[in-house]
Amino acid sequence: MIDSSTSLLASQRHDIVRFAMGSPANEAVPIDLFREIASSRLGADSFTYGATEGEPELIDALVDYLSTTSEPTAHDRVVITAGGMQGLDLACKIFIDPGDLVVVESPTYTNGSATAASYGAELLEVPLDADGLVVDALPELVSAAGRTPKAIYVIPNFQNPSGTTLSAKRREMLVKLAHDWNCVIIDDDPYGLLRFSGEDVPGFQCISPLDPLIFSVRTFSKILAPGLRVGWVDVDPEIRQYVINAKQAMDTCTNVPAQQLVAEFIKRGYLSTHLERIRFVYSERKSAMKHSLMRSLGSRITITDPEGGFFLWLTLKGDDAAISSTALFEIALAEGVAFIPGAALSPSGRFDDSLRLCFAASTPSRIQTGVERLTRSLDLARRAPYPGGAERHGSLT
């Protein structure tokens, strides 16, 4: 569904404000620095096979960089992957057998839940609130499911799509439940380094150090550039060997020139400065989106108020709650604004009254334009004879 929305979006030729894709802003990608590094670093050793676990220079640089953050790691825990998606795929390949129960947040990043489903998992959707996954609700839902989960898939910081952050207390409770059930926590955190306000919440690796049940998936896609396809997993050293074996059979090694670019970017000290700059940019954009939405649609919607990351989550209320965001998508596209309809972000198609909006990729003035177009689209949808017209626009699902 994310794919069908984005391919429909790609085929459009008119001006569209793009709140749909979770990509960094073009101007937030450090292209000049990449060019500079590529011309001096890439050479004969860039174009042969690399080590399956990753280029040693990248692992060294990454471990050094992470030692300056709240989530330090060690060389024998890291495997470089082809983005976060490969990390998720490896976790599911190693831990999930057909018929296993996997807990997912509701709403969730459906490419992540779909990966679990592709290994035969049965998904248990558990609600979120302003403090992230409602961990309290888990024991009852799990008991109703009749068996304990094999994995809990969670996006703890500035969750995709809701923008919410899992509270410290809930993280601790989740670790305890994972131990009771002997199930793995797939800790998918692409956005944690993009906090622009509030206080850091301790990560799972910090709450439960050296815990073999925590499988952490990270990526450079949001903090540097998604086209690099470079990410990493941070796992128990014994699990790491399974990851390396599985990755070897998948793609032998991650793209070597891309790893060298990232390694050099970190070694030259560019990453911290870059992160500071983009946190500031995204903070301004989040505020611009929040204020534009509240000005234009304040009484008709509720929105989340993320302290980092890329997304906020909008839920229609009152009479507007009857509008299908799936149907709204096509109206909005014609009006020149794109978003991801809520139903695309739940394996069972919940949240047809909600929208995921990416504030990261548009400037504040474009955000203002996009919100005006969204407001017009909602007005049109209210007047349309088929406000709940999801079936009419079935090509989207």
Where do contacts with ligand PMP occur on this chain (CB under 6 A)? 22, 83-85, 109, 112, 155, 160, 188, 190, 219, 221, 226, 231
Q: How far is the CB of 147 from ligand PMP (least distance, A)?
A: 26
| 84/336 with CB nearer ligand PMP | 84
Q: How far is the CB of 112 from ligand PMP (least distance, A)?
A: 5
| 91/331 with CB nearer ligand PMP | 91
Please list the residues that pair with 315 across neighbouring strands: 302, 354
The DSSP letter of residue 220 is: S
| 139/257 with CB nearer ligand PMP | 257
Q: How far is the CB of 154 from ligand PMP (least distance, A)?
A: 10
Q: How far is the CB of 305 from ligand PMP (least distance, A)?
A: 19
| 20/331 with CB nearer ligand PMP | 20
| 85/390 with CB nearer ligand PMP | 85
| 161/389 with CB nearer ligand PMP | 161
Q: How far is the CB of 207 from ligand PMP (least distance, A)?
A: 20
Residue 304, CB-side half-sphere exposure with 13 Å CA sphere: 27
Q: How far is the CB of 98 from ligand PMP (least distance, A)?
A: 23
Are 192 and 203 in contact by the 8 Å Cβ rule? The answer is: yes
* Residues 6+ away with beta carbon under 8 Å from 135: 170, 173, 174, 177
Pure H helices in the chain? 2-10, 31-41, 56-66, 83-95, 110-118, 138-145, 168-181, 204-207, 237-251, 256-267, 270-297, 325-335, 364-383
| 164/219 with CB nearer ligand PMP | 219
Q: How far is the CB of 215 from ligand PMP (least distance, A)?
A: 13
Q: How far is the CB of 317 from ligand PMP (least distance, A)?
A: 26
CB atoms inside a 10 Å sphere around CB 248: 13
Looking at the chain, the number of H-run helices and the number of E-run strands are 13, 14
Are 230 and 83 in contact by the 8 Å Cβ rule? The answer is: yes
| 250/380 with CB nearer ligand PMP | 250
Are 23 and 224 in contact by the 8 Å Cβ rule? The answer is: no
Contacts 24+ apart (CB under 8 A), 265-270: 265/30, 265/33, 265/34, 265/37, 265/224, 266/58, 266/61, 266/62, 266/64, 266/65, 267/57, 267/61, 268/37, 270/30, 270/33
The three-class DSSP label of residue 97 is coil
Q: Which two tokens stand for residue 164?
A: 């919410």
| 132/389 with CB nearer ligand PMP | 132
Q: How far is the CB of 91 from ligand PMP (least distance, A)?
A: 11
In angstroms, rounded to a whole number, what is the distance separating the alpha carbons of residues 314 and 312? 7
